[in-house]
């Protein structure tokens, strides 16, 4: 089908890993996470791909360490 199409030239920006994966969210970032969550919930077509990527980064950072099991002393 589109054997001559070069997908790489059509991409604007590749996804990258969070630059601060171990930091907790500050209040401004938390507010942005909530605002983006609400926008995605009520009108996802209005949220740009960059903002959805930002939402994903913030969500992952907010979950850091939440599933870690507590260390038990033997």
How many structural domains are present in the chain? 1
pLDDT in tens, 7-64: 555 455 555 555 555 568 899 999 999 999 999 999 999 999 999 999 999 999 888 7
What pLDDT does 64 receive? 77
**Separation of alpha carbons 26 and 62, rounded Å:** 10
Domain residues for the domain of 45 are 20-63
Q: What pLDDT score does 66 carry?
A: 72
Flag whether 73 is in a domain: no
Q: What is the pLDDT of residue 9?
A: 53
Q: Is residue 54 part of a domain?
A: yes
**What pTM does this model have?**
0.61
Cβ 40 vs Cβ 52: under 8 Å: yes
pLDDT of 1 reads 45
* Position 15 in a domain: no
Residue 74 lies in a domain: no
Evaluate whether residue 68 is within a structural domain: no
């Amino acid at each position: 089908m589109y054997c001559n199409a070069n997908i790489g030239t059509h991409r604007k920006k590749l996804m990258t890993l969070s630059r601060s994966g171990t930091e907790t969210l500050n209040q401004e970032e938390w507010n942005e996470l909530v605002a983006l969550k609400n926008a995605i919930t009520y009108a996802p077509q209005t949220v740009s791909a960059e903002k959805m990527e930002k939402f994903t980064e913030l969500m992952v950072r907010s979950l850091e360490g939440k599933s870690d099991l507590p260390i038990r002393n033997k």
